[in-house]
Amino acid sequence: MMMEHILITFLACFVIFLICYIGRMHQKIQRLHNDKDHDTLTGAYNRTGFIRRTEKIIQDCTVSDELCVLFFNIKGFKVINELFGLDAGDKVLRQSVELLQTSQLKPLLTARIEADHFVCLIRQSNLIYDELVSLCHRTYVMDDKQFNFYCRCGIYMVTDKTINVSSMFDRAKLAKEFILDDYAQPYAIYDNSMRDGFVAKNELTSQLLRALKDNEVKVYYQPIYEAKTKKAVSAEALVRWENSQMGQLFPGQFIPILEENGYISELDLYIANHTTEFLRNRTAQGKFTIPVSLNLSRKDFYNTKMIDMLISNLRDTYLPVGYVCIEITESAYASLAEHNSEILNMIKKMGVKILLDDFGSGYSSFSAIQDFDFDIIKLDIGFTRQIGVNKNAEWIIQSIIDMSHHIGSKVIAEGVETQQQADFLVGMNCDYIQGYLYSKPLSQPEFENLLDRYQETIA
């Protein structure tokens, strides 16, 4: 009887405790959900919360040590989502917060400020670089798949407490852009010369926008040859900037800056307009011409003005169907959302050939060709360079050509510079060849000459 009584009392206490505990947990979760200062996915601060708390710490001088702001970005986060799914992506984000909070950096505050961007406020005395490096080298394992990835970290030492916290983020974020080797040193510390470089980049962007108006930007055309007949059958439009002070500038010198600053579509639209106008004029004059492919950037698919213009150009009855083709790199294709790859499908249905550029250079080569019927696959220049050098690469080239033919795509080998490379590719049944061996990119008058000469031989 006594035992029963004790047991009932114990059970009653336990049930009351459980109800209180669940109630408190529920309140806690509710608070977190309603909390405008926290990120619901990870439980860390969000941007607003982090700014508010940091301002308070700086104002109240609650921490005597010098402080620093760390800005982290997961490199290739989209690939994790792609390879393992969104749940895995969420898990990586939550793990990132946990890793930072429990690290030897002992952050005073940790926040996820957007997508895969995290910031921490730490004491400078806790900035242990070895710990930072190991935090940045990450591995994700699921089932039997393993994926190594990196975080990059920009650091702003809070030397000027009068600037606002957002500017501190910006400075740390800017420093991140100056990391040279993700593996050896995945971090960089902000200094004012970085800001000067940033100003220079903006200066270059505004100069290029002016150059577009002043027609300093030119389209060059690199012919693409049929491997067996050595006849130019199409061409690729490549941009050149004929700068009045700096001379001729190549795309590598300004395209990354335009992509970063969000102006790449202005340039691509300009190249598309000039190319189609050139083709239209020649066709209208009854002159011989060949199809030309345009390089599109990932960002173009998010720019409705660009897409509308392309579509209206393609509907232009003065330009024969198939005379404009589109090149998209495999990494750009991989980062397109479903809606944007639909746009690509729609363009293809209009008779436009879609080329997959730089095939074999990224992580997602095979998933790209599984998902979309590319008309032509452009073998990355890196493979061509291995011809006669690396037997394995030669086998890979042969397999890629065979595989492309099986799935109904043709192959262009890029960057062909030697006869040995060309002979190998012809032997492997490669369809087309592009490279300095046959022709460098030509200015418009030079390209016109080539087309006129062809017209004469045909006539």
The residues binding Ca ion (CB under 5 A) are: 295, 327, 357-358, 414
Per-residue binding string, ligand C2E, 103-142, x by CB under 6 A, is ----------------------------------------
Long-range interactions of 417-421: CB distance < 8 A, separation 24+: 417/384, 418/388, 420/387, 420/388, 421/384, 421/387, 421/388
Which is closer to Ca ion, CB of 224 or CB of 314?
224
Q: How far is the CB of 150 from ligand C2E (least distance, A)?
A: 24
Tell me which H or E stretch contains 68: strand 67-75
Identified binder of ligand C2E from the candidate list 250, 318, 366, 395, rule CB under 6 A = 250
Q: Does 430 bind ligand C2E (CB under 6 A)?
A: no
Counted residue by residue, the chain has a size of 459
Q: Which residues in 76-191 belong to E strands, given as ranges? A: 109-114, 117-123, 137-142, 145-157, 187-189
Stretch that binds ligand C2E, among 98-106, 118-126, 142-150, 411-419 (CB under 6 A): 411-419
**What is the residue-wise DSSP string for 371-383?**
HS--SEEEE-HHH
Does the footprint of ligand C2E cover residue 73 (CB under 6 A)?
Answer: no
Q: Which one, 414 or 431, has the nearer CB to Ca ion? A: 414
39 vs 236, beta carbon nearer ligand C2E:
236
Instruction: Indicate the residue type of 263.
Output: Y
**Residue 250 binding: pick among Ca ion, ligand C2E, none (C-beta 5-8 Å cut-off by kind):** ligand C2E
- 248 scored as a contact of ligand C2E (CB under 6 A): no
In terms of CB distance, is 187 or 270 closer to ligand C2E? 270
Name the binder of 409 from ligand C2E, Ca ion, none, CB < 5-8 A by kind.
Answer: none
State the minimum distance, in angstroms, from the CB of residue 107 to ligand C2E: 39
Residues 335-364 that bind ligand C2E (CB under 6 A): 357-358
Q: Which residues contact 417 (CB under 8 A, 6 or more apart)?
A: 384, 435, 436, 437
Q: How far is the CB of 422 from ligand C2E (least distance, A)?
A: 11
3-state secondary structure of 359: strand
Token pair listed for 283:
């066709």
Identified binder of ligand C2E from the candidate list 271, 336, 400, 401, rule CB under 6 A: 271
Q: Which residues pair with 151 in a beta bridge?
A: 74
Binding span for ligand C2E by CB under 6 A among 88-96, 104-112, 164-172, 429-437: 429-437
Q: Helix axis angle, 264-284 relative to 192-213, nearest 10°?
A: 20
431 binds ligand C2E (CB under 6 A): no
Question: What are residue 327's phi and psi, to 5 degrees?
Answer: -110, 135
For residue 340, give the nearest of 389, 372, 298, 312 by alpha carbon.
298
What is the rounded CA–CA span in Å between residue 301 and residue 312? Answer: 15
Residue 251 found at the interface with ligand C2E (CB under 6 A): yes
Among 435, 442, 447, 451, binds ligand C2E (CB under 6 A): 435
User: By CB under 6 A, is residue 235 in contact with ligand C2E?
Assistant: no
Among 46, 276, 289, 297, binds ligand C2E (CB under 6 A): 297
Q: How far is it, in rounded angstroms, from Cα 138 to Cα 34?
A: 32
Q: How deeply is 291 buried, as exposed, middle or buried, from its count of CB atoms within 10 A (0-12, 13-18, 19+)?
A: middle
Q: Which residues pair with 379 in a beta bridge?
A: 359, 413
Instruction: Based on the shown chain and the rule CB under 6 A, indicate whether residue 247 belongs to the binding site for ligand C2E.
Output: no
Name the residue type at position 410: K
SS3 content of the chain, % helix, strand, coil (to 5): 50, 20, 30
Toward ligand C2E, which CB reaches closer, 404 or 421?
Answer: 421
To 5 degrees, how large is the angle CA 74–CA 163–CA 174? 30
Q: What token pair was written down for 419?
A: 């006869």
Rule CB under 6 A: say whether 265 interacts with ligand C2E: no
- Which of the listed partners (ligand C2E, Ca ion, none) does 417 bind, with a CB threshold of 5 to 8 Å by partner kind? ligand C2E
Shortest CB 180 distance to ligand C2E, Å: 21
Give the Cα separation of 9 and 22 in Å (integer).
Answer: 20
382 binds ligand C2E (CB under 6 A): no
Among 453, 456, 421, smallest CA distance to 438 is for 421
Q: Which stretch binds ligand C2E (CB under 6 A): 22-30, 201-209, 263-271, 305-313?
A: 263-271
CB of 154 to ligand C2E, least distance (A): 26
Query: CB of residue 327 vs Ca ion: minimum separation in angstroms?
Result: 4
Query: Which residue ranges make up the site for ligand C2E (CB under 6 A)?
Result: 222, 238-239, 250-252, 255, 264, 268, 271, 295, 297, 357-358, 414-417, 434-436, 441
